[in-house]
Structure 1
């Protein structure tokens, strides 16, 4: 049961991974029990020929990564351009950052009502956003802003070229946008 929970947590954490102490806290188990489950899961994933991922550790930070044997296939995938499309979730996060920057992940999550770290990782990897300092509040979370690549991606020179947010804030306007009342 813990192995499934570990995989679910690491999948959602994406490239960021999760520290050992945080994993143990989330699962409400001690470090020894966590390490035992981690080792069993590592072996299970490594020896499963039907699994394309493995569990790795970097400085007590665990994450799921693709197995090296799939490098050629993944390179082919990225060369096809299929990976260049942004998901709906990533576009939502990107638009929130563009309109509300600088903004923290927690503030983005509050606006969307769901967790956004996976989309943030995607946007950071594509260099459409970047970390730009820390907010002066407890925990000092990262602040995110759009990058020059954002402007290139959307073919604009300035944030003022974005549609006015007021056009989207009142849900009663949705009918008007679609030509309905």
Structure 2
């Protein structure tokens, strides 16, 4: 694999589509005494970067694509207690601003869950550009952010015997996006 050096303070120009086979979008939340994790599959994302450095990142995932280890729990996550898939079948993200400094990036945007759009800030890293073995050019965008699930109307909880809530409110979002120039 050949590396193409990218030293700009902007992202590489062009239209970049997510390589979903090699990418990951997930979430983590405190549950009782540990951390519960899930993923979304399928999902889609596109990064558009103009010659002047203006960039826009958009992504979406069907709520039916939430993946967890237990089928019953997956069904509960589809229900009105959580994502309310029947009323709001898609989760979406649209950036409002992207800033890069070296290999660090901040993506501000609006995350829509249950039809409710809320601001979110994602931070992370950008890899160098690389030519892949298939003749394409790609790079990785790794992002992490935190949201309060109650801001989206996800209020379900179940108290533990000590009175504490079983489920935390803060959700950590992660995205490891392999982007291929289209």
User: Into which bin does the TM-score normalised by the smaller protein fall?
Assistant: under 0.3
Q: Structure with the greater relative contact order (CA < 8 A, sep ≥ 6): 1 or 2?
A: 2
- Higher-helix-fraction structure: 1
**TM-score with structure 1 setting the length:** 0.21
* TM-score after normalising by structure 2: 0.21
Q: Which has the higher strand share?
A: 2
